[in-house]
């Protein structure tokens, strides 16, 4: 039965860099358009989609505070949360261009710009077929949007965290540096911790492990990969209990 393979509800984690040109900065219409088209197709297959957008193409708190002596680290993290809002608004328009209905929901209230994230309202939007875009992470400094993706996946009871990356999945070493790095088909949470594999940040992994929420790391650059991922086809690396 094919419908058993398909996820009912997913969290899609898009890094800020995935919206950027190859240099990793700024916001590219071309990149956003391609992602939006894939989201449209994935949604057509009947899946409820909540997107957590990062801000790394604009600013990451830890990096920024390291290079700017005048800005405290906590301040820089709030700046990073605002960066995710900038990306979320851009993604909203890109996705609505495909004909889908969307809502941006912010973890930090910004009521002139977006709704505030309220769990039950978020679920209601999904049930009505809207794609929700979750901005400002979890609204607290010193974590990243990976943690937000895990946290929201638990809250809205998503079936899986889909972590979109530029590489095909999780490797034994950085594949962009080591040509002998091996790609894993599947891993347990324990493997990830023991082998110190870089999948998502440690808080995100701990949350998913504790609550048995699987993660699929896959290459969103391969055409159709988001659709295949929500259909439960084998793409990337599966991480589960
Ligand atoms: N951030 C935060 N709290 C959150 C989510 C994000 O403080 O709940 C800040 C943090 O500084 C982070 C930045 O926002 O570095 C941008 O998010 P992230 O680095 O996750 O973006 P990505 O790497 O996915 O583009």
Q: What is the CA radius of gyration of the chain?
A: 17
Confidence of residue 175 (pLDDT cuts 50, 70, 90): confident
Q: What is the mean pLDDT of residues 121-148?
A: 98
The pLDDT score that the predictor gives to residue 58 is: 97
Grouping H, G, I as helix, E, B as strand and the rest as coil, residue 144 is: coil
Q: Residue 84 is part of which domain span?
A: 2-240
Q: Which long-range contacts (CB under 8 A, 24 or more apart) does 143-146 make?
A: 143/77, 143/201, 143/203, 144/54, 144/60, 144/201, 144/204, 145/13, 145/15, 145/52, 145/53, 145/54, 145/55, 145/84, 146/13, 146/200, 146/201, 146/203, 146/204
Please give the model's pTM, rounded to 2 decimal places: 0.95
Mean pLDDT of 179-185: 94
- Quick check: 8 and 48 in contact, CB under 8 A? yes
Question: Which is more confidently placed, 167 or 122?
Answer: 122
ipTM score over 0.90, yes or no: yes
216 C-alpha vs ligand 1 centroid, how far in Å? 20
Mean pLDDT to the nearest integer, 79-97: 98
> Among 57, 61, 68, which is best to mutate for testing ligand 1, by the most ligand atoms less than 8 A from CB?
61
18-61 tens-digit pLDDT: 999 888 889 999 999 999 999 999 999 999 999 999 999 999 99
Task: Calculate the average pLDDT of the chain.
Answer: 94
For residues 101 and 95, what is the distance between their CA atoms, to the nearest angstrom?
8
User: For the segment 138-163, what is each residue's pLDDT rounded down to a tens digit?
Assistant: 999 999 999 999 999 999 999 999 99
Atom of ligand 1 nearest to the CA of 142: 7
Q: Is 16 in the pocket of ligand 1 (CB under 6 A)?
A: yes
Total domains present in the chain: 1
Predicted local distance difference test score (pLDDT) of residue 5: 52
Contacts of 89-93 with CB under 8 Å at 24 or more apart are 89/113, 89/114, 89/135, 90/19, 90/27, 90/32, 91/14, 91/19, 91/32, 91/35, 91/36, 91/51, 91/53, 91/133, 92/133
Q: Could you tell me the CATH number of the domain that includes residue 180?
A: 3.40.1160.10
């Amino acid at each position: 039965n094919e419908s058993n393979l398909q996820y009912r509800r997913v969290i899609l984690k898009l890094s800020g860099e995935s919206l950027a040109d190859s240099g990793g900065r700024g916001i590219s219409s071309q990149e956003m358009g391609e992602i939006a088209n894939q989201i449209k197709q994935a949604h057509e297959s009947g899946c409820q989609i909540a997107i957590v957008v990062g801000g790394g193409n604009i600013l990451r708190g830890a990096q920024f505070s390291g290079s700017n002596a005048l800005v405290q680290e906590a301040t820089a993290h709030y700046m990073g949360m605002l960066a995710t809002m900038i990306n979320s608004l851009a993604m909203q328009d890109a996705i609505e261009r495909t004909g889908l209905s969307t809502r941006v929901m912010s973890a930090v209230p910004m009521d002139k710009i977006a709704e505030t994230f309220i769990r039950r309202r978020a679920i209601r939007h999904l049930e009505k077929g809207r794609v929700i875009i979750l901005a400002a992470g979890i609204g607290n400094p010193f974590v990243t949007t990976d943690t937000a993706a895990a946290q929201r996946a638990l809250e809205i009871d998503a079936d899986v965290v889909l972590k979109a990356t530029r590489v095909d999945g999780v490797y034994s070493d950085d594949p962009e540096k080591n040509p002998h790095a091996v790609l894993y088909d599947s891993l347990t949470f324990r493997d990830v911790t023991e082998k110190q594999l870089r999948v998502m940040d440690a808080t995100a992994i701990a949350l998913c492990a504790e609550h048995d929420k699987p993660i699929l790391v896959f290459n969103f650059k391969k055409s159709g990969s988001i659709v295949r991922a929500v259909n439960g086809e084998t793409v990337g690396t599966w991480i589960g209990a």
